[in-house]
Amino acid sequence: AQSVTQLGSHVSVSEGALVLLRCNYSSSVPPYLFWYVQYPNQGLQLLLKYTSAATLVKGINDFEAEFKKSETSFHLTKPSAHMSDAAEYFCAVSDRGSGNTGKLIFGQGTTLQVKP
Amino acid sequence: ETGVTQSPTHLIKTRGQQVTLRCSSQSGHNTVSWYQQALGQGPQFIFQYYREEENGRGNFPPRFSGLQFPNYSSELNVNALELDDSALYLCASSLAGRGDNYGYTFGSGTRLTVV
């Protein structure tokens, strides 16, 4: 069965600093992996996804993530944090093994705080 | 192109009552998935509807049920509400039953509080 672990429930960075949010996955089949962002009182917005093409995936707002099979990781990075990046971030893996629903299995989330 | 619309945005119910949440899917999408997001947690898959039939279900009891209509809109019904049902309920629409391939569009959710 697929699962996702996000390391660090809270991450704090200064404005302009590198953002690194960690995600490790477990999957018995080649995974599809996703990062979503959630602003307060809003739904989920897709930042980027990996679906077995290039291992370095570029998303919106200068976010990117690298799929590393050997480390079963899919960490999210951004070179320079903006105040507007403060939000909750979720890593998710697609459940491709059962019933072909493509349902998403989410991690617990990481709250990103950006300090001026 | 309209996004996913959920109603109501907030509601408060009493333990034991029943509730219906509604979702209008994005134009062109024929699949709807429902997720429950408890406070401080990641969303958890409840079930998915494709072509008006349940197409997969998560680890939720039968008192959680749903419908999908010919226009692809959907309802989530919860009977015999419990305090632990308090959560943000998210609807996500996708195309052709495989949101992981074609992408999910999430609504802003319905915040349910059970007292």
CA pair distance B77, B86, nearest whole angstrom:
14
At B97 the pLDDT is: 55
Token digits of residue A83 = 């105040």
Q: Min CA distance, A42 vs chain B (Å)?
A: 5
CA pair distance A11, A81, nearest whole angstrom:
12
> Would the pLDDT of A29 be above 60?
yes
Average pLDDT of A28-48? 89
Chain B residues with beta carbon closer than 8 angstroms to that of A36: 106
B68 three-class SS: strand
Instruction: For chain A, give the percent of residues with pLDDT over 70.
Output: 95
Token digits of residue B67 = 């419908």
Mean pLDDT of chain B: 91
At A100 the pLDDT is: 57
Q: Min CA distance, B44 vs chain A (Å)?
A: 7
Cα A102 from chain centroid (whole Å): 17
**Residues A48-76: tens digit of each pLDDT:** 999 877 899 999 999 999 999 999 999 99
Q: Are A104 and B43 a contacting pair at CB < 8 A?
A: yes
What secondary structure does DSSP assign to chain A, as a single string? --EEEEE-SEEEEETTSPEEEEEEEE-SSPPPEEEEEE-TT--EEEEEEESSS-SEEE-GGG-EEEEETTTTEEEEEESS--GGG-EEEEEEEE--SSTT---EEE---EEEEEE-
pLDDT higher for A112 or A43?
A: A112
At B102 the pLDDT is: 61
Mean pLDDT of chain A: 91
Chain B residues with beta carbon closer than 8 angstroms to that of A34: 100
Q: Residue B96's pLDDT band (boundaries 50, 70, 90)?
A: low
Least confident of A95-99, A104-108, B17-21: A95-99
Chain A residues with beta carbon closer than 8 angstroms to that of B92: 44
pLDDT higher for A31 or B33?
A: B33
Q: Residue B99's pLDDT band (boundaries 50, 70, 90)?
A: low
Q: How many CB pairs under 8 A join A and B?
A: 71
> Would the pLDDT of B47 be above 80?
yes
